[in-house]
Amino acid sequence: MQEIKLTDVRYRPKYHIAAKSGWLNDPNGLVYFKGYYHVFFQHYPYDAVWGPMHWGHVRSKDLIHWETLPIALAPDQEDGCFSGSAIEYDGKLFLIYTAHYNLKEDGSKSYQEQNLAVSEDGINFTKYQGNPVIKPPLANNTENFRDPKIWSDGQDFYCIIGGQTLDNRGQVLLYKSHDIYHWTFEKVLATSKVSTVQGTMWECPDYFEINGQKVLVVSPQGIEPDGEFYQNHHENGYFVGQEKEGNFIYPQNSFRELDRGHDFYAAQTLLAPDGRRILIAWLDMWEQKYHEQADGWAGMLSFPREITIEDGAVRMRPIRELGKIRRETLLNESTAQGQYTFSSPCVEVQFKAMQDLAFEFTRGFEKLSISYQNGKFLLEKTGYKQRKITWKMETLDVQILSDASSIEIFIENGPVISERFYGEGDLELKFQSTKDVAVKTYRLEL
């Protein structure tokens, strides 16, 4: 089979990760290895739709300039190489991934198990001959058993895997190894309290510590909308808890969304050499309209984000390396209202406002607007229902990153809103407030 070719670059991101062509979804294997940041992703190179999953691969020295590398994993005996993670060990780079097997014509059921692949150079990978290294659990889990996240405490290896109980609740299973090849089941780390509240299946788990606080990230399926919350087809969020006597303890119904936009899923993190925890997610959502499919590709990843814990909640902001692609300052003024046109969609916009603010982006057929007043954000986007976000703030410090088909909105000490944003032509910005707003914009370019 031949890889699908691009027919148009009108929606291609300039400074976000995307496959050179074909389909992309979940980020996998975020790791720093031999001087490079590596990001893998779920990929189907032969069409712009989801297909038998491969692992696409890019690397970077600075989290900004990405080099496309050969496909790292392709299904052979498996029917798909689903999501997983990466770790350096003994000078080598190990990938642990879900081997997915489809329902067979002979009546054999579909199932999932965990495999290893290893590389000396971080580019060419060989699958371990002893696969699988982790088989499906024997009790109280359906065939949904995927997306391993691996880490080490310097002595042993640990791996969590997303699962689903027989009574249809999401769960995370914990495994342990002394040598990375042989694994034993330790326990169920965490389980959905109620399926409709916390999910029927927990995909893409991640587990890490920041300043002594334990964070479990999951992508639940099956959460029912609750007022202004959980409005996406699937969710992506986290629990902040504590480890007590080897168990992860979190408050009842404490699941929080990581991002309040329409297009954010399957977030994964890595620990950078300087100690920062960096997060990247799929900047899309299942069962949406992907306008770029007509051009031979689909899907992109979020701009990398630094995450911290403040007042018991995860906060996200763009990585500081963003400064490397700031070119000339386009605007720098203070005014109560403004209307501007940018010839390139690749801009950064910063607002500092008091109490109320309304802004709107338009590009071709797309329009996205956000207003804030009396502790309420109102998000409106072409083709979508209004979305309300309650978040009381005295002042608004807003940072917005726009690329060729995306807008990410970071509100200091507040929500993050991630959106695919298409349209062609000039990017238009309008804003207004009852008081002067400090507005600053940069042109962004690699």
* Ranges of each domain in the chain: 22-318, 324-444
Least confident of 62-76, 148-162, 233-247, 413-427: 233-247
Strand runs (DSSP E) across 195-276, as ranges?
201-210, 213-221, 237-244, 247-249, 256-257, 265-271
Backbone angles phi, psi at 320, to 5 degrees: -65, -20
What is the side-by-side strand order in the sheet with 92-101?
A: 80-89, 92-101, 111-119, 126-127
CA atoms of 64 and 303, how far apart (whole Å):
9
Residue 248 has pLDDT above 90, yes or no: no
Tokens 């119904």 belong to residue: 253
Question: What does the pLDDT look like over 253-303, one tens digit per residue?
Answer: 789 999 999 999 999 999 999 999 999 999 999 999 999 999 999 999 999
Residue 246 has pLDDT above 80, yes or no: no
Chain Cα centroid distance, residue 205: 11
Q: C-alpha angle 290/291/292, rounded to 5°?
A: 90
Question: What does the pLDDT look like over 65-95, one tens digit per residue?
Answer: 999 999 999 999 999 999 999 999 999 999 9
Residue 42 has pLDDT above 90, yes or no: yes
Give the contacts of 245 (CB within 8 A, at least 6 positions apart): none
Per CATH, is 22-318 categorized as 3.30.2020.10?
A: no
Question: Catalytic site residues?
Answer: 26
For the chain, give the percent of residues with pLDDT over 70: 100
Average pLDDT score over the chain? 96
- pLDDT on residue 244: 79
Going from the C-alpha of 312 to that of each of 191, 241, 242, 275, 308, the distances in angstroms are: 21, 9, 11, 19, 10
Residue 412 has what DSSP assignment?
A: T
- pLDDT on residue 289: 94
- pLDDT on residue 108: 84
- pLDDT on residue 184: 97
Residue 239 — left, alpha, or beta (φ > 0 → left; ψ -120 to 50 → alpha)?
beta
- pLDDT on residue 194: 75
Q: 324-444: which CATH topology?
A: Jelly Rolls (2.60.120)
**Three-state SS at 235:** coil
Tokens 């989801």 belong to residue: 50
Question: What does the pLDDT look like over 383-402, one tens digit per residue?
Answer: 999 999 999 998 999 999 99
Residue 134 has pLDDT above 90, yes or no: yes
| CA proximity to 84, closest of 62, 61, 101, 100 | 100
Question: What does the pLDDT look like over 294-341, one tens digit per residue?
Answer: 999 999 999 999 999 998 899 999 999 999 999 999 999 999 999 999
